Structure 1
Amino acid sequence: MDRGRRSTALIVAGILLVVGTVAVGAATAPETSVDDGSQQRTLVGSQGGDTGWHADGSVYMLTGSEISWRIDDADSYFDVTQLPDGRVMAGFMHSGYQEGCAPYDPPCTKTGFRIIDPDAEGGPETIEEYAFPVRYATNSETHDVERLDSGEYLLSDMEHERIFTVRDGEVTWQWNASSFYDAPPDPTRRDWLHINDVDAVNETHYLVSVRNANQLVLVERGAGVVEVVNEDDGGSDDSCTVRDSQLKDFDGDGEIRCGDPSVLDHQHNPQWLGPDAVLVADSDNDRVVELHKVDGEWEPAWTLSRAGSVPLHWPRDADRLDNGNTLVTDTLNKRVFEVTPNGTVVWSRQTPDDTPIAYEAERLPEGERVGAQRYTADGDVEEASGGVPGLSLLLVSLQSVAPWTPFWFAELHLGLTLVGVVTVVAGGVDRLRELRR
């Protein structure tokens, strides 16, 4: 075969491989929409849909599988909760503020929570806001807020790595993670712990998700940490620090406090089911896990790694419902679904194309409650197949840059596409060399 025919063959083969990969992947993609015909209401907070997931955020209500209302007035929304009066409370992040930016220069980014009136004249609108400025728009947000019986609001804070309460805009109490974890000189300059959730277990105890440490801590107001889920072994092994630039041995004592990533790995949104049981979206393990405390150790008792023939991909919320099922926000598969204890999907809804990166969902009217049905400790419902080595991180990076990437576009599709692109490039280079002769 002469050089011209060879280069043409390479280009054509590469194009066919890319087109064929996409066409076959789309044609064989499993169905992820399941509607039982009921009119249950599901409230969803969406982080966004633009590059980096920090634009096009929204809060919307699903009635059955239809969007009944939606508001998209912030770059990102996170945790969402319906208040007793029907208004909605949501953690948020938004850029472009011109006032109240100190110590940072305007325009600045702020985070905090908003109160949304879905029944306002003219459509849903934000009627109240508590916000404070942050150094960066990424990894500095308030992902969670709860309204306490005392009238205070309880917030998580990645900017200063703390949880705190406010009333009438004033901080009334706070717990700083630096009192328990080895802290850098300035937490606002790095994604240190990434505290992404706080739930009131009772009037004095708060469950906190310390994402980068792979741990949950139970903080008693006025006393500090009284329980650690996925506690480290006290040794100097830092194998639990699976990501560079997050946890480090800042004080040089040879120890880093973090938990076993095989138990929890960069988790989100734990739900306290009751004494010695917690349900967690175990995000970087691509599963939902229920942990039980047995003989003083927290162990996986039930896990969900696949639903509706689709392996979970970076789930960030799981709520045990009053009917005994579990509601899951499967972020990078761009879906929210309800599953029975044995893994059967009874309802599933794809997220909207223009705001696909959902953070959290709540089934109404109950929402996420402290104290819910525990599952029997009987192991995995279904184990997911592993990804292609070396491509998982690249796929996540692609989805960050292009959130519209189809949910079914997995490591295998990415690998074949890359082979096709390389083949086309090789053919093009070969053709250029022939033309220059």
Structure 2
Amino acid sequence: MGPPAPGDADDGTGQRTGAVIVVAGVALFATALLAGAALAPDVGAAGDDASGTLVGSHGGGAGLHERGSVYLLDGREIAWRAGDTDSYFDVTKLDNGSVMAGFMQSGYDECGPYESPCAHTGFRIIDPNPDSGADPEITHEYSFPVRSEKNSEVHDVELLDSGEFLVTDMDRERIFTVRGDEITWQWNASQRYDAPEDPTRTDWLHINDVDVIGEDRYLVSVRNAHQLVVVARGEGVVEVINEGDPESTRGDPTLLRQQHNPQWLGNDSVLVADSHNDRIVELERGADGEWTVAWEIYAAEGVNFNWPRDADRLANGNTLITDSLNKRVVEVNRSGETVWSYNTPEVPYEAERLPEGETVGGTSYADGGGDTTTIGEGRDVPVLSFLLVIVQTAVQTPFWFTEVHVAVTLVSLVAVLVGLGSIIRARVRARR
């Protein structure tokens, strides 16, 4: 066998080049992270104090179904906390001091048609036991089994004057009332929307909120249709906000896009966490009956909102915002100035400022003239913004991790793979 032909063996150049590329990729990624952390604005520290703020925490971990909790903030300290549950959602303080909350929890044995163990969703009544010093205690639970933890939760519950509980159910896509264990009334979304054969097998509409806005009149958030509907008990849907194309029963995603937790401010105004447009928006009904943007805000404390899922117009006229993927609760005034903020330990779903909580009716920022007040600007980078949501939902990156970091991560990953490929090829050639 003669000597190898020129180029058949590697003299080390290929491996060195590959190593340089790998190091460059890792260095680029590390530099981007260090720069992001160093240049990040101060978030979650505005304001000296605030009266009690009640928080329902979705949790953390992949899919956000770990370490869910309900807790009360006394200023910046957690006065009490009820945890040990996969996820909690909407929270309401009742007149007797107890707290009502939607929840999701795995590990149940009573599973109906599903394999055991399974997940249950529903609502709980929690006694904080603030005076006794004892741990918070679950005093009542209404729940039912679901096929999957994902996109099947009860996100909201309201206590009616009748003593019934009004519940959202995104597993079967309905709202219903229950007294004890008996369902006393329900509205099925299939009365308005074209239903799949089995709603429990797909994230069809994702009904995530219901509020009482009048006698037997309920404001319902139909997330995946980008719509709010008013359901009258005994009549069905009597009004649609963001009707869009009536033929498709889907709203205009530039007006609302997979929203959460609307607050009815009055007959001509509604405040909405416009989640996938990453803004808080107040919609105003014009003389022609059309709903348009009267006020919108995209950022606070110099940081754009990232999947905000609650906004409450407070008694003082400010707006309390739950900015989920940035893991913060922030209060802003009409001009967008931050007056109070708090970094939450996990991803929050909803927050209420006590004692009033979320009210029906409130101060409107609309001027009645059809003008729009915009604070900040949107940030929707094709592909990168979508990937950012996936990353932040999976690993809960810090608030300063933006689309820029997603792009740098992709470039760095490609560089590392190219470099490793060069090293492997060089080693293979060297062995010939």
TM-score range, shorter chain: over 0.9
Kept after mapping to 2: 8 A contact 1:182/1:256: no
Tell me which amino acid in the other structure corresponds to 2:181: G
Kept after mapping to 1: 8 A contact 2:62/2:393: yes
Q: Distance in 1 between matches of 2:193 and 2:410?
A: 42
Q: Secondary structure at the match of 2:31?
A: helix
Q: Distance in 1 between matches of 2:36 and 2:128?
A: 39
Q: Which residues in structure 2 correspond to 1:412-423 (within 5 Å)? A: 412-423=404-415
Kept after mapping to 1: 8 A contact 2:101/2:124: yes
Please state if 1:151 is matched with 2:163. yes
Give the counterpart of 1:20 among 31, 35, 42.
31
Q: Secondary structure at the match of 1:225?
A: strand
RMSD (CA atoms) = 1.4
Give the counterpart of 2:327 among 324, 331, 334.
334
Please state if 1:391 is matched with 2:403. no
Kept after mapping to 1: 8 A contact 2:229/2:240: yes
Q: Distance in 1 between matches of 2:191 and 2:339?
A: 44
Q: Distance in 2 between matches of 1:4 and 1:435?
A: 7
Q: Which runs of 5+ in 1 are unaligned?
A: 235-254
List structure 1 segments (4+ residues) > 4 angstroms apart after TM superposition: none
User: Match for residue 169 of structure 1?
Assistant: 181
Q: Secondary structure at the match of 1:342?
A: coil
Q: 1:290-335, CA deviations, whole angstroms, 9 ceiling, x for partnerless residues?
A: 0011021011100011111111111000000000000000111111
User: Match for residue 8 of structure 2?
Assistant: none
Q: Distance in 1 between matches of 2:43 and 2:73?
A: 16
Q: Secondary structure at the match of 2:229?
A: strand
Q: Which residues in structure 2 correspond to 1:109-258 (within 5 Å)? A: 109-119=119-129, 122-234=134-246, 255-258=247-250
Q: Secondary structure at the match of 1:258?
A: coil
**CA radius of gyration, larger in:** 2
Q: Secondary structure at the match of 1:332?
A: coil
Q: Secondary structure at the match of 1:233?
A: coil
Give the counterpart of 1:376 among 348, 366, 369.
366
Q: Distance in 2 between matches of 1:193 and 1:5?
A: 54
Give the counterpart of 1:427 among 394, 404, 419.
419
Q: 1:258-291, CA deviations, whole angstroms, 9 ceiling, x for partnerless residues?
A: 1000100000000000111100000010000000
Q: Distance in 2 between matches of 1:190 and 1:291?
A: 30
Q: Secondary structure at the match of 1:397?
A: helix
Give the counterpart of 2:113 among 103, 113, 134.
103
User: Match for residue 73 of structure 1?
Assistant: 84
Percent of aligned pairs sharing the same letter: 58
Structure 1 residue 35: deviation in Å? 3.9
Tell me which amino acid in the other structure corresponds to 1:50: G
Q: 1:152-172, CA deviations, whole angstroms, 9 ceiling, x for partnerless residues?
A: 110001111111111122111
Kept after mapping to 2: 8 A contact 1:13/1:423: yes
Q: Distance in 2 between matches of 1:116 and 1:95?
A: 19
Give the counterpart of 2:306 among 313, 324, 327.
313
Structure 1 residue 103: deviation in Å? 2.4
Q: 1:206-261, CA deviations, whole angstroms, 9 ceiling, x for partnerless residues?
A: 00000010000001111111110001233xxxxxxxxxxxxxxxxxxxx4211000
Kept after mapping to 2: 8 A contact 1:343/1:381: no
**TM-score, normalized by length of structure 2?**
0.93
Give the counterpart of 2:262 among 270, 290, 311.
270
Q: Secondary structure at the match of 1:373?
A: coil
Tell me which amino acid in the other structure corresponds to 2:136: P
Give the counterpart of 2:318 among 306, 320, 325.
325
Q: Distance in 1 between matches of 2:378 and 2:281?
A: 16
Q: Secondary structure at the match of 2:85?
A: coil
Q: 1:94-133, CA deviations, whole angstroms, 9 ceiling, x for partnerless residues?
A: 111112x212232121111000011165311211101111
Q: Which runs of 5+ in 2 are unaligned?
A: 1-11
Q: Distance in 2 between matches of 1:359 and 1:209?
A: 15
Kept after mapping to 2: 8 A contact 1:35/1:64: no
User: Match for residue 3 of structure 2?
Assistant: none
